Copies of this chain bind each other. A is one copy, B any other.
Amino acid sequence: MLPISFLSDFGLVDEFVGVVHGVIARIAPEARVIDVGHDFPRGDVQSSALALMRAIQYLPEGVALAVVDPGVGTERRAIAARTPWGFFVGPDNGLLAPAVAIVGGADLIVSIEDPRYRLPAEGETFHGRDVFGPAAAVLASGEASIEDLGPTVDPGSVTPLMIPLVEPDGMGGMLGEVLWIDHFGNAQTNVSPADLASLGLSSGDEVAMVIAGIERRISWTGAYGDVEPGEGLLHVDSYGQIAVAVRDGRADEAYPLTVRTAITFRQPGSSSIPVTPFTLDGL
């Protein structure tokens, strides 16, 4: 019996999350279900995909069930992928792609279609309850193999996720963007310590940070305790990315910053952001 890790944008004000837990418990009563989070922004595939990617290495190998699905009611497929970590189940909209890539890529992807593993709905299909939840549960229990769920899909036909790339701004700086604002108001960027190092910067330095055309000085520190309360700082966050924080405060409110805010680091400089695809074939 494999554990199931479950992520969605269903929120916690309805019975939606509970009903999916119920469906899993009816099919696989012994399966442990871990809630990775259910309050990701509605329909925000990129934010949710990145959260799943950050989380995946800490989740017990088994089944990852992810449902953030702005395209429900259109023609997008329901897919399941087999990877070295275990199985991934969710919509074919890029949501699974970064996490699948980071665990080594998928060697088999199927389109979930077999009616034996779907629940009938009285009206419109609630995909989390009727399609994805049952598929995750039968994979967890071993009641079905991934091949049983439906026909194999060409990996090249699966929707990748477009992740914004960091890029030199042509004026000696590095242009990135905010990927996520956490519960504490910290802003994770797509900029790595290596990107800053390529500008000749290192931990302990003052950095020029440009947001909305405003340049500020900020310390790249090893710990919150290195700056005064209320002061901003850059640090390498617990996932290894450069993050903007405020000691005893909220960086999102102080600067302000939100998901997708452009942010340039330099000794000076600036430019625009290209994208590169994440695919299910691995990094």
Which chain A residues have a beta carbon within 8 Å of chain B's beta carbons? 3, 5, 7, 10-19, 21-23, 25-26, 29, 32, 34-40, 42-43, 51-52, 54-55, 58-60, 70-75, 121-126, 129-130, 182-184, 193, 222-226, 235-241, 247-248
Contacts and interface: CB of A to CB of B under 8 A. Distances in A.
A16 B223 contact: no
Copies in the complex: 3
B34 A12 contact: no
Given A13-B40, A15-B52, 13 more contacts: A3-B25, A10-B183, A15-B54, A18-B55, A19-B59, A72-B224, A73-B223, A73-B224, A122-B239, A123-B240, A124-B238, A125-B238, A126-B238
Nearest to A239: B122
Given A37-B17, A121-B238, A26 B60 contact: yes
A17 B70 CA distance: 25
A14 B18 CA distance: 19
Contacts of A183: 10-14, 16, 42
A60 B124 contact: no
